[in-house]
Structure 1
């Protein structure tokens, strides 16, 4: 795995980075060069050989430039019955001229907010792709919901991506939600090219006391997309954070989701569905860190894999010594629809406290033949019956999406894929 660990391979990215945030860029570069890109010898990436994938697919590690997007493209990308505000991106660059002005919310580019504590939540030392982003991102978006402000409409982060002048798209997002504030985000990418390109995304979320944050993400990438997403959030006392991640397509996708529960009575929820076919590879790595007593986390990921697709789930829950009275639950369930589909699942608990309620588990199996026969015996053809059972399997996660228009959009996509619509 030699070529991708050399500094000159990424010199185009390092050289293109502007001088803004020079100190954190320097730290990011030093951290990245000390770590290098991970190989399968690294425990965290043993089932996802993303370095080899990048070596074979990406011709030059240079930054992709933004491209022109029309208002009609934005409108056509909105799902049916969506009533909310939209923030538009082109190859990771925020486009304020096509975006909503959101009442009660401050939105700016990161270069306009030099005091932002970038890198304080998603630390470069934790993952080489965080370090690479920190070393070379061009700019990003700053979103702040002030104290006690309740945003009733969802905020859609709508990203248009395609291979352009370069190969690497590096979005950077900072979100801070004040005490007693409420907000819902929807994160969706529109791919305009099936050519190979690399998206290396970092999102940091800072949730205040008694804040209520929902973050829904739909990954329905182009066939050539290689993506690494690092999402990390700090949640304070009495706050609630809910993430729902839906992965449907792409070449190779790696999702790193970390939740730090830093206050008593805080609640973190992490839900996901990966519905894969072809040769799509999706790797979900989650991390929940309980540091304070009287906090709760709930985690449920479900996978449906067909053809030669591959899924990876690695979930970690840490319960620190002071985190007594913790409730932490984690489950990963999978259905394999072909002999060539593979899933590697590894739920983990590390507990240093003695007064806790924690559980974790995983299952891998096939469709229930008795249930399939039952539906067919009542006049439902085999394809529809199969689709209904699979949809019921995924539905436990889909019902966690409280934003109705987005939930309906995801349900339609999944039902079409499964053939369960009537």
Structure 2
């Protein structure tokens, strides 16, 4: 699709001059060249294999994809939600429509060797941001290029070698406008042996046709460990396109949790590069869909070095006319001997109209490896329903309990108790007998 035919916007040069880093020549150049790459490709079409099952053409008909450069006032509901989070054991950063809100945030005492800053502030101070973190190399989809062109703000977490954060960094992104376009950019750089947990929570305060295009980059030094949790809870009319990209050094460990519980259409592109021996990554995901919701998880793990381990566990629960997509690709490159890789995708269909497209893939170009994959699509098990009913549960409660048990296989992996309980409650609230199950748990 020709972007210029459908997108009547000011020249991108003027747009970049209104964003963070507009006084830094290389930042302006990087934004403009990224926008040119986006225009050259256009919006992905379903003729492209990677977008075969996800139609994003509606985005080309938006009145504007430009970010709002004026930070909005935080609605009272957002302020209350942020205050509740600030009472928990987290380092909290709050963003309203893509702009950092210091008055709602509570980063707290980070300790030695840890820096947590606004991405916009770092763009304005070019000396603080390596150009390598804002270049074409980190673009895995055309929406990463669009994010580079229009990113407004986000979080930058830098951990010195050996630094450890006891409490999670909690990044709360609130969409409070109508028809707004939001471009968060998050960067995590962990030195050798550093450890931290990072939560990204996308929350919609209104049911509007908002558009979020987010990119998160993670670089793990030797022996570092980062656990990343993403909770998508935007409004039922919102569109959410995101990239999460991790690069692992020797003996480092990356764990990802992705929960897609909101948005009209959501896509997460998650990539991991195991660049040196001994790296370990685990990708967990759950999509809980109803109505006409659509969620797409595209993962790619590149085993580039020997003796690395990867695991993927994704589950979907689909009702109504919803559609889920899982495409997981594991590539074992030449020389990556003793690779140990496993991926699985299991789906539960609750209606005849719900649909799942699942495509686990393995590409192996090395010997002496152990790689497996599998996928299932099915309905609730009649024998399990009969067993629960024989124990005195009514049909709807038994059905809800089986659905929750299926989803809880992923929920219980979340390391942060408050977040784990919050996700469990959100899932139970979607079930017809969720309140009854809460009493039984």
Shorter-chain TM-score tier: over 0.9
- Structure 2 Cα separation of the partners of residues 23 and 378 of structure 1: 67
Q: How does 1:109-148 map to 2 (within 5 A)?
A: 109-111=121-123, 112=125, 113-119=128-134, 123-124=138-139, 126-148=140-162
Give the aligned partner of residue 360 of structure 1.
373
- Structure 2 Cα separation of the partners of residues 121 and 54 of structure 1: 23
- Structure 1 Cα separation of the partners of residues 9 and 282 of structure 2: 36
Compared with structure 1, are the counterparts of its residues 171 and 38 closer, same or farther at alpha carbon in structure 2 (3 Å cutoff)?
A: same
Any gaps of 5 or more consecutive residues in structure 2?
Answer: none
Preserved contact between residue 16 and residue 28 of structure 2 (Cα < 8 Å): no
Give the aligned partner of residue 288 of structure 1.
301
Stretch moving more, 298-307 or 166-175: 166-175
Preserved contact between residue 290 and residue 320 of structure 2 (Cα < 8 Å): yes
Give the aligned partner of residue 66 of structure 2.
62
Give the aligned partner of residue 30 of structure 1.
36
Q: How does 1:59-208 map to 2 (within 5 A)?
A: 59-64=63-68, 65-69=70-74, 73-77=78-82, 78=84, 82-99=88-105, 100-104=107-111, 105-108=114-117, 109-111=121-123, 112=125, 113-119=128-134, 123-124=138-139, 126-164=140-178, 167-208=180-221
Give the aligned partner of residue 14 of structure 2.
15
Give the aligned partner of residue 333 of structure 1.
346
Q: How does 1:311-326 map to 2 (within 5 A)?
A: 311-326=324-339
Q: How does 1:406-417 map to 2 (within 5 A)?
A: 406-417=419-430
In the alignment, structure 1 residue 240 sits paired with structure 2 residue 253: yes
Preserved contact between residue 12 and residue 32 of structure 2 (Cα < 8 Å): no
The Cα shift of 1:23 comes to: 3.1
The Cα shift of 1:98 comes to: 2.9
Q: Deviations over 1:42-88 (max 9, x none)?
A: 1111111112x2135x2222212421126873443446983111011
Any gaps of 5 or more consecutive residues in structure 1?
Answer: none
The Cα shift of 1:11 comes to: 4.1
Preserved contact between residue 161 and residue 191 of structure 1 (Cα < 8 Å): yes
Compared with structure 1, are the counterparts of its residues 339 and 15 closer, same or farther at alpha carbon in structure 2 (3 Å cutoff)?
A: farther
Stretch moving more, 301-310 or 389-398: 389-398
The Cα shift of 1:94 comes to: 1.8
The 3-state SS of whatever aligns with 1:48 is: coil
Q: Which runs of 4+ in 1 moved over 6 A?
A: none
Preserved contact between residue 17 and residue 138 of structure 1 (Cα < 8 Å): no
Preserved contact between residue 326 and residue 345 of structure 2 (Cα < 8 Å): yes
Q: Deviations over 1:302-352 (max 9, x none)?
A: 000000111011011011001100001000000110011011110111110
Preserved contact between residue 211 and residue 239 of structure 1 (Cα < 8 Å): yes
- Structure 1 Cα separation of the partners of residues 389 and 87 of structure 2: 34
The 3-state SS of whatever aligns with 2:261 is: strand
The 3-state SS of whatever aligns with 2:36 is: helix
The 3-state SS of whatever aligns with 1:372 is: helix
The Cα shift of 1:190 comes to: 2.1
The 3-state SS of whatever aligns with 2:143 is: helix
Q: Which one of the candidate residues 29, 43, 46 is aligned to 1:40?
A: 46
Preserved contact between residue 136 and residue 145 of structure 2 (Cα < 8 Å): no
In the alignment, structure 1 residue 50 sits paired with structure 2 residue 65: no
Could you tell me the TM-score, scaled by structure 2's length? Answer: 0.89
- Structure 2 Cα separation of the partners of residues 214 and 387 of structure 1: 30
Q: How does 1:299-310 map to 2 (within 5 A)?
A: 299-310=312-323
Give the aligned partner of residue 279 of structure 1.
292
The 3-state SS of whatever aligns with 1:304 is: strand
Preserved contact between residue 155 and residue 171 of structure 2 (Cα < 8 Å): no
Higher relative contact order (CA 8 A, sep 6+): 1
Preserved contact between residue 143 and residue 175 of structure 1 (Cα < 8 Å): yes
- Structure 1 Cα separation of the partners of residues 39 and 268 of structure 2: 22
Compared with structure 1, are the counterparts of its residues 278 and 398 closer, same or farther at alpha carbon in structure 2 (3 Å cutoff)?
A: same
Stretch moving more, 61-70 or 234-243: 61-70
